[in-house]
């Protein structure tokens, strides 16, 4: 039996145990996944935690995604490019960091919309935006990132995108897909009203992605045509299943996880 976990602080609201344990159940393994609260001043003892919990691998969430890199032996190239790790594989004493937010997002996007070269507009320039940007850059897309303050771009380790202010968006050339990576919409706010962006930037062909998964369809996504939008749930599930593949070499049961997740949120959005 393998033991896996997510570490973060606070950690009580994480959906990762539900997702991973649904997958383990579907795969018929006795593996277990739990949430471990690791306060920031305890992260330095991560190797003790791995030993005492018997972890074969673990996920990393807020606020440890950047700081964990100091305690790892290796970090893969994409995680290094965005300066954040969300998945660690444990091979004896050797710890290797990965970022499956990048691969999980890209799998979700390409499976939903198909792969082709696109002009992408990312709204927001925080941690999730860095993963989404890396994904689209790896996909060969042309990426523009819009932030409310230019200082946000100082946190990026690569410069392979166009950096603009959100207030510049109305003056930009059209985009094929618009991605919301800000939390605006979680409380049913209308992103276009809140950020004073005219929704005329959307045509009936424009794709829309919101990383938010609750509510299931934000006001932002309501502006996009049927079949042209995706919420954050497929990314959440794919990043988890990509971590499972890193740990075990096997493919996760995405359909089973989807069913479990939908039953869990039923009626809540
Ligand atoms: P973060 O690092 O705090 O970044 C948030 C970004 O949004 C920052 O650039 C922030 O700008 C910007 N922002 C916040 N409020 C804004 C406003 N009113 N107008 C304009 N910009 C605003 O957070 P994160 O980790 O990237 O997460 C962002 C969202 O993605 C959250 O809703 C999170 O739940 C979601 N997410 C989903 C998944 C998934 O698997 N579906 C994965 C990761 C994250 P400032 O820096 O100027 O404040």
Q: 206 CA distance to ligand 1 centroid (A)?
A: 22
Residue 13 banded pLDDT, cuts 50, 70, 90: confident
Q: How many CA atoms lie within 13 A of 109 on its CB side?
A: 29
Across the range 88-115, mean pLDDT stands at 97
**What Cα–Cα distance (Å) separates residue 238 from each residue in 38, 103, 104, 148, 188?**
24, 8, 4, 29, 25
Across the range 30-50, mean pLDDT stands at 97
Q: Which ligand 1 atom sits closest to the C-alpha of 182?
A: 7
Sign of torsion over alpha carbons 40, 44, 47, 48? negative
- Which sequence positions are flagged as catalytic? 65
What pLDDT is stored for residue 266 in this prediction? Answer: 77
How far apart, in whole angstroms, are the C-alpha atoms of residue 23 and residue 18?
9
Residue identifier of the C-alpha nearest atom 40 of ligand 1: 236
pLDDT > 60? residue 197 = yes
Q: Do the beta carbons of residue 146 and residue 165 sit within 8 Å? A: yes
pLDDT > 70? residue 237 = yes
* pTM as predicted: 0.96
Please enumerate in sequence order all residues whose Cβ is within 8 A of that of 253, keeping only pairs 6 or more positions apart, or say none.
23, 26, 27
User: Which tokens go with 62?
Assistant: 């807020």
For the stretch 137-177, pLDDT in tens is 999 999 999 999 999 999 999 999 999 999 999 999 999 99
Residue identifier of the C-alpha nearest atom 1 of ligand 1: 126
Q: Which ligand 1 atom sits closest to the C-alpha of 105?
A: 40
Across the range 241-255, mean pLDDT stands at 97
DSSP state of 187: T
Across the range 196-202, mean pLDDT stands at 94
What pLDDT is stored for residue 1 in this prediction? Answer: 83
Residue identifier of the C-alpha nearest atom 13 of ligand 1: 182
Q: Which ligand 1 atom sits closest to the C-alpha of 125?
A: 9
Q: How far apart are the first and last CA of the chain?
A: 35
What pLDDT is stored for residue 265 in this prediction? Answer: 80
Q: 189 CA distance to ligand 1 centroid (A)?
A: 14
Residue 130 banded pLDDT, cuts 50, 70, 90: very high
Q: 187 CA distance to ligand 1 centroid (A)?
A: 13
If one residue of 211, 215, 258 were mutated to test the ligand 1 pocket, choosing by the most ligand atoms within 8 A of its CB, it would be 211
Across the range 199-218, mean pLDDT stands at 95
Sign of torsion over alpha carbons 209, 210, 216, 218? negative
Measured from CB, residues less than 6 Å from any atom of ligand 1 are: 101, 124-129, 147-149, 152, 166, 181-184, 186, 194-195, 211-213, 232, 235-236, 239
Q: 215 CA distance to ligand 1 centroid (A)?
A: 15
Place of tokens 């673990």: 58
pLDDT > 70? residue 269 = no
Q: Which residue has the higher pLDDT, 241 or 267?
A: 241
pLDDT > 80? residue 5 = yes
Sign of torsion over alpha carbons 194, 200, 201, 206? positive
What pLDDT is stored for residue 268 in this prediction? Answer: 56
Q: Which ligand 1 atom sits closest to the C-alpha of 239?
A: 40
Q: 179 CA distance to ligand 1 centroid (A)?
A: 11
């Amino acid at each position: 039996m393998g033991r896996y976990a997510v570490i973060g602080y606070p950690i009580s609201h994480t959906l990762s145990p539900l997702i991973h344990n649904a997958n383990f159940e579907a795969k018929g393994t006795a593996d277990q996944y739990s949430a471990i609260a690791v306060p920031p001043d305890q992260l330095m003892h991560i190797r003790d935690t791995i030993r005492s919990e018997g972890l074969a691998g673990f996920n990393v969430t807020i606020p440890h995604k950047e700081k964990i890199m100091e305690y790892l032996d290796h970090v893969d190239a994409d995680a290094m490019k965005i300066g954040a790790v969300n998945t660690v594989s444990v091979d004896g004493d050797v710890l290797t960091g990965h970022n499956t937010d990048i691969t999980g997002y890209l799998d979700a996007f390409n499976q939903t919309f198909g792969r082709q070269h696109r002009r992408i507009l990312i709204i927001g320039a925080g941690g999730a935006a860095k993963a989404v940007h890396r994904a689209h850059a790896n996909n060969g897309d042309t990426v523009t990132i819009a932030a409310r303050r230019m200082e946000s771009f100082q946190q990026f380790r690569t410069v392979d995108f166009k950096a603009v202010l959100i207030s510049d968006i109305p003056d930009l050339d059209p985009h094929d897909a618009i991605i919301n990576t800000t939390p605006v919409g979680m409380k049913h706010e209308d992103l276009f009203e809140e950020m004073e962006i005219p929704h005329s930037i959307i045509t009936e062909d424009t794709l829309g992605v919101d990383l938010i998964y609750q509510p299931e369809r934000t006001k932002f996504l309501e502006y996009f045509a049927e079949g042209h939008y995706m919420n954050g749930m497929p990314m959440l599930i794919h990043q988890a299943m990509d971590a499972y593949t890193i740990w075990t070499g096997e493919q996760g049961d995405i359909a089973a996880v989807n069913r479990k997740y939908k039953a869990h949120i039923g009626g809540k959005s």
